[in-house]
Chains A and B, each alone.
Chain A
């Protein structure tokens, strides 16, 4: 299974996502430059963390206009799995691929720490390899990770089983403890925590591998 890691100017977790996939998961990964019109035949796309275009405006507000985003949109519409981590989640929300918005943490400060996530659904290519309700340890590192949406959207996300992860202890004020959500087709996941930073014991946790292994499992259901 071939992964593509999008590189926006200002992405800074692109190398980490590549390393997690290539070394710790053991699948090929390649970088895709932000002005590329195509995705070069990858099987899954990762929008990594960082500060695309500096995020001096609203996080992700400029990145959504990158040429590569048209290809990402089409890839997603065709059912290809798209994983947005941290800044990648912010970009997916700005691009309208996921509902809601991400605003400044409730304490108005950047927060870097380990959190615990509860897996809320197994019905997605990102969580299929998890145990029901599995608690995953992985870090967050963001200043604007407070998830908000109107009540109807929140209800809808709940009713359609589209909340992938909730925080066990809410670190940033996110509504209904939401840490990660799926689109209606369930092939786009955005989450603020960093699964790629939890992919080997030396990182302090390997729980993030669940997300990547799920993708591999969904891609080759018979091999899993």
Chain B
């Protein structure tokens, strides 16, 4: 196969542009052979090289006083005190999850978990951000329902078996995801600060060791598949999706952590996208070394595999490590104990080359640094997003507010996702202080008395109206979720899901969203320590809405957390941040606009970052002072939905306003910077809020079994909690028809 002639067609099939091919020739000083062409094509794919986004990603803040490791490694690392660090990152597995939902999602979980324990950290939490087409779509509904069920079962299968709790996430439905579901998986692990491992090949002559599953023909060109639009032919790409084995990954986790304790491991990297190719050349590039391997030594589960196939296979549950020469046996002994294959397949060299042999013959020879770090970089043309109409079509009639509230509570974005998260083991490892359904997920670190709060947020409705403002709102909401439980945000990771970057308007969305994320993350002191870009989320020319997803992590002392539900009748209810502001233009991205009026227009809610930050500071102080009996931030669906959600535990509320807003604006506008708190000590809250120059009106009182909302003399809502609960809890299962 290596003797196959390289033709322009073959180059095109590898999704390499002419200019990219010329660059390969100039790096090598000759034409590549077939294997080398394959190696370049995966390393220089959008998925691995970030060639369209790299230029703009540089605008993101990456440094902070607690950041130990920023972007460029398998995961970001943050110091959490007491000699411990956390490693975390988010990754997408969108394309595979569309082709084969169960395995696509499962291997998405597997991939990000390996990124975490590669660094020496034991995974202690997973969160998922999911996007699907509407479940009731006349055409795509049945397929969307099947994709959702497959994705959820796949995540459950992998995470539950591996033994990591899936503690939260989000799930949103829009028609733009009909042919492009998004599966973004966030994982976080904990390690001792002195025991962090990096993916660097150092020490000339040190052995390169292959560990884990045997290599098969599965997943060849997965990275390239994830770098192209879907067409009808893509459905035939099922063999490009890998099959996950969470049991093997669990063994790999335990064996790697144990082997790391021997002190014999110099560097380690998982084999994810682009498999053996990526792990070898990246470790070599980071270490400034060469790597030489013999493919005959690679454990294979199929016969007759070519160098091309072995180098590009994306078989799961494999790791590559460099050990100290002479101490291989210590490593082998640990892997033998766990029943895993571990073999030396090569060594670290001083010539900076990735040299691949088969049967002793050199089948590929490429400089590591150029291959890993000198991928083409594009400043693709980009244009601003077209402006949306500033006002709704005139035909809209308001419906009774109570009916609107009930409709929103049953709508797919807002309704309970219990059907999904009840399939996840969200408690294993007994660290979960707040699990799915909470504003922020919280896991404790048993060793140092610190807990980690996490929130994943992304709002593609807002980003559709303004990619820049939408991205900033996502950061604000994520940080607000953390503040609601009393946590201080310290760092973030992002997953940028967009359409085809070769279209200037899509590229414009990406650039605007990155700038918005950068500004907001700088402002909220949440440096981005790593993440993922997923482009080409298009099917048959239909792109998704811009969907940047942000995951913010925060720190708090370990204690019983403040939760959403009202706890007792007779307590004061305070709306920290106040009623907010809204006008016709800023109402056009709300759930009310989407669900009730079935139209989006204008701009997302206006964000005053300075005010938002003061609300967070006040909220943290309120929690620290023990003044909040319950707290819940206002987001999708606005005030009325948030108030209804606080009632679902059984204690209701009577809210009373004196507002000039229309009922729709008052109840359903989605202005940020607002948190609903119940308290026995409203004066204490008022004092703290005043000190932070934040509004904190008392808006009502908790009571038994009903939710009532009045503005001046008009009763807008009066509903029994039982009926709210029935609507909220039952809706998703109804929509799934199961």
Query: Chain A interface (Cβ within 8 Å of chain B)?
Result: 9-10, 12-13, 15-16, 19-20, 49-51, 53-56, 109-113, 139, 141, 143, 194, 196-197, 199, 201-203
CA distance A56 to B429 in the complex (A): 22
Nearest Cβ in chain B — how far from A178, in angstroms? 21
Stretch at the interface among B289-297, B419-427, B705-713: B419-427
Q: What is the predominant secondary structure among interface residues of chain A facing chain B?
A: mixed
Query: Given the interface contacts A10-B161, A54-B247, does A197 sit within 8 Å of B427 by beta carbon?
Result: yes
Q: Which residues of B contact A19 (CB under 8 A)?
A: 430, 446
CA distance A12 to B429 in the complex (A): 8
Query: In the complex, what residue of chain A is closest to B432 when comparing beta carbons?
Result: A203
Instruction: Check B428 against A13 for contact (C-beta < 8 Å).
Output: yes
Instruction: Check B444 against A12 for contact (C-beta < 8 Å).
Output: no
Q: Which residues of A contact B621 (CB under 8 A)?
A: none
Instruction: Check B558 against A202 for contact (C-beta < 8 Å).
Output: yes
Query: In the complex, what residue of chain A is closest to B149 when comparing beta carbons?
Result: A109
Nearest Cβ in chain A — how far from B439, in angstroms? 17
Q: Which residues of A contact B156 (CB under 8 A)?
A: 109-110
Instruction: Check B162 against A12 for contact (C-beta < 8 Å).
Output: yes
CA distance A202 to B560 in the complex (A): 6
Q: Which residues of B contact A201 (CB under 8 A)?
A: 560
Nearest Cβ in chain A — how far from B733, in angstroms? 10
List the 7 closest pairs (A to B, CB-CB), nearest first.
Answer: A12-B163, A54-B247, A51-B161, A141-B425, A16-B430, A110-B423, A112-B425
Instruction: Check B427 against A139 for contact (C-beta < 8 Å).
Output: yes
CA distance A109 to B152 in the complex (A): 10
CA distance A201 to B161 in the complex (A): 26
Q: Which residues of A contact B251 (CB under 8 A)?
A: 9-10
8 A-B pairs within 8 Å (CB atoms) are namely A10-B251, A12-B161, A51-B247, A55-B247, A109-B423, A110-B160, A112-B426, A141-B160
Query: Chain B interface (Cβ within 8 Å of chain A)?
Result: 153, 156, 160-163, 245-248, 250-251, 338-339, 421-430, 433, 444, 446, 558, 560
> Could you say which of B160, B247, B424 contacts A53, with CB atoms under 8 Å apart?
B247
CA distance A141 to B163 in the complex (A): 11
Instruction: Check B423 against A141 for contact (C-beta < 8 Å).
Output: no
Q: Which residues of A contact B429 (CB under 8 A)?
A: 15-16
CA distance A10 to B430 in the complex (A): 17
Instruction: Check B444 against A9 for contact (C-beta < 8 Å).
Output: no
Q: Which residues of A contact B426 (CB under 8 A)?
A: 112
CA distance A55 to B162 in the complex (A): 12
Query: Given the interface contacts A51-B161, A55-B161, A139-B427, does A12 sit within 8 Å of B250 by beta carbon?
Result: yes
Query: In the complex, what residue of chain B is closest to A198 when comparing beta carbons?
Result: B430
Nearest Cβ in chain A — how far from B397, in angstroms? 41
Instruction: Check B247 against A196 for contact (C-beta < 8 Å).
Output: no
Nearest Cβ in chain B — how far from A26, in angstroms? 15
Query: In the complex, what residue of chain B is closest to A54 when comparing beta carbons?
Result: B247
Query: In the complex, what residue of chain B is closest to A52 when comparing beta carbons?
Result: B247
Q: What is the predominant secondary structure among interface residues of chain B facing chain A?
A: loop
Nearest Cβ in chain A — how far from B166, in angstroms? 9
Nearest Cβ in chain A — how far from B75, in angstroms? 21
> Could you say which of B250, B339, B444 contacts A202, with CB atoms under 8 Å apart?
B444
CA distance A142 to B248 in the complex (A): 20
Q: Which residues of B contact A54 (CB under 8 A)?
A: 161, 245-248
Nearest Cβ in chain B — how far from A137, in angstroms? 13
Instruction: Check A112 against B163 for contact (C-beta < 8 Å).
Output: no
Q: Which residues of B contact A196 (CB under 8 A)?
A: 430
Instruction: Check B428 against A141 for contact (C-beta < 8 Å).
Output: yes
Q: Which residues of B contact A203 (CB under 8 A)?
A: 427, 430
Instruction: Check B247 against A112 for contact (C-beta < 8 Å).
Output: no
CA distance A16 to B430 in the complex (A): 6
CA distance A153 to B605 in the complex (A): 64
CA distance A224 to B427 in the complex (A): 31
Given A111-B422, A141-B425, 12 new contacts (CB under 8 A): A12-B428, A49-B428, A51-B160, A54-B248, A109-B156, A109-B422, A110-B160, A112-B422, A112-B423, A112-B427, A139-B427, A141-B428
Q: Which residues of A contact B153 (CB under 8 A)?
A: 109
CA distance A112 to B429 in the complex (A): 14
Instruction: Check B247 against A10 for contact (C-beta < 8 Å).
Output: yes
Q: Which residues of A contact B245 (CB under 8 A)?
A: 54
CA distance A59 to B446 in the complex (A): 30
> Could you say which of B161, B428, B444, B558 contacts A16, with CB atoms under 8 Å apart?
B428
CA distance A12 to B248 in the complex (A): 13
Nearest Cβ in chain A — how far from B620, in angstroms? 20
Q: Which residues of A contact B424 (CB under 8 A)?
A: 110, 112
Query: In the complex, what residue of chain A is closest to B421 when comparing beta carbons?
Result: A112
Q: Which residues of A contact B433 (CB under 8 A)?
A: 202
CA distance A13 to B339 in the complex (A): 20
Nearest Cβ in chain A — how far from B168, in angstroms? 13
CA distance A194 to B250 in the complex (A): 21
CA distance A203 to B561 in the complex (A): 11
Nearest Cβ in chain A — how far from B626, in angstroms? 16
Instruction: Check A9 against B428 for contact (C-beta < 8 Å).
Output: no
The interface centre, meaning the residue of B162, B247, B425 with most chain A CB atoms within 10 A of its CB, is: B425
The interface centre, meaning the residue of A139, A196, A202 with most chain B CB atoms within 10 A of its CB, is: A202
Nearest Cβ in chain A — how far from B561, in angstroms? 9
Q: Which residues of B contact A141 (CB under 8 A)?
A: 160, 425, 427-428
Q: Which residues of A contact B247 (CB under 8 A)?
A: 9-10, 51, 53-56
Query: In the complex, what residue of chain A is closest to B424 when comparing beta carbons?
Result: A112
Q: Which residues of B contact A111 (CB under 8 A)?
A: 422-423
CA distance A196 to B246 in the complex (A): 23
Q: Which residues of B contact A197 (CB under 8 A)?
A: 427, 430
Nearest Cβ in chain A — how far from B726, in angstroms? 17
Q: Which residues of B contact A51 (CB under 8 A)?
A: 160-161, 163, 246-247, 250
Instruction: Check B446 against A10 for contact (C-beta < 8 Å).
Output: no
Nearest Cβ in chain B — how far from A52, in angstroms? 9
Query: In the complex, what residue of chain B is closest to A51 when comparing beta carbons?
Result: B161
CA distance A143 to B560 in the complex (A): 29
Q: Which residues of B contact A12 (CB under 8 A)?
A: 161-163, 250, 428
Q: Which residues of A contact B161 (CB under 8 A)?
A: 10, 12, 51, 54-55
CA distance A203 to B435 in the complex (A): 11
Instruction: Check A9 against B430 for contact (C-beta < 8 Å).
Output: no
Nearest Cβ in chain A — how far from B206, in angstroms? 29
CA distance A199 to B446 in the complex (A): 14
Q: Which residues of B contact A113 (CB under 8 A)?
A: 422
CA distance A19 to B124 in the complex (A): 15
Instruction: Check A110 against B425 for contact (C-beta < 8 Å).
Output: yes
Nearest Cβ in chain A — how far from B470, in angstroms? 33
CA distance A12 to B113 in the complex (A): 15
CA distance A201 to B561 in the complex (A): 11
CA distance A219 to B512 in the complex (A): 67
CA distance A16 to B153 in the complex (A): 24
Q: Which residues of B contact A20 (CB under 8 A)?
A: 430
Nearest Cβ in chain B — how far from A18, in angstroms? 10
CA distance A49 to B425 in the complex (A): 12
> Could you say which of A9, A15, A110, A194 contacts B338, with CB atoms under 8 Å apart?
A9
CA distance A15 to B429 in the complex (A): 7
Nearest Cβ in chain B — how far from A22, in angstroms? 11
CA distance A9 to B258 in the complex (A): 14
Query: In the complex, what residue of chain A is closest to B338 when comparing beta carbons?
Result: A9
Nearest Cβ in chain B — how far from A200, in angstroms? 9
Q: Which residues of A contact B339 (CB under 8 A)?
A: 9
Q: Which residues of B contact A139 (CB under 8 A)?
A: 427
Query: In the complex, what residue of chain B is closest to A143 when comparing beta carbons?
Result: B160
Q: Which residues of B contact A194 (CB under 8 A)?
A: 427
CA distance A113 to B427 in the complex (A): 9
CA distance A49 to B338 in the complex (A): 18
Nearest Cβ in chain A — how far from B102, in angstroms? 13
The interface centre, meaning the residue of A55, A112, A139, A201 with most chain B CB atoms within 10 A of its CB, is: A112
Q: Which residues of B contact A13 (CB under 8 A)?
A: 163, 428
Nearest Cβ in chain B — how far from A102, in angstroms? 16
Nearest Cβ in chain A — how far from B183, in angstroms? 18
The interface centre, meaning the residue of B163, B246, B421, B433 with most chain A CB atoms within 10 A of its CB, is: B163
CA distance A13 to B428 in the complex (A): 7
Q: Which residues of B contact A110 (CB under 8 A)?
A: 156, 160, 423-425
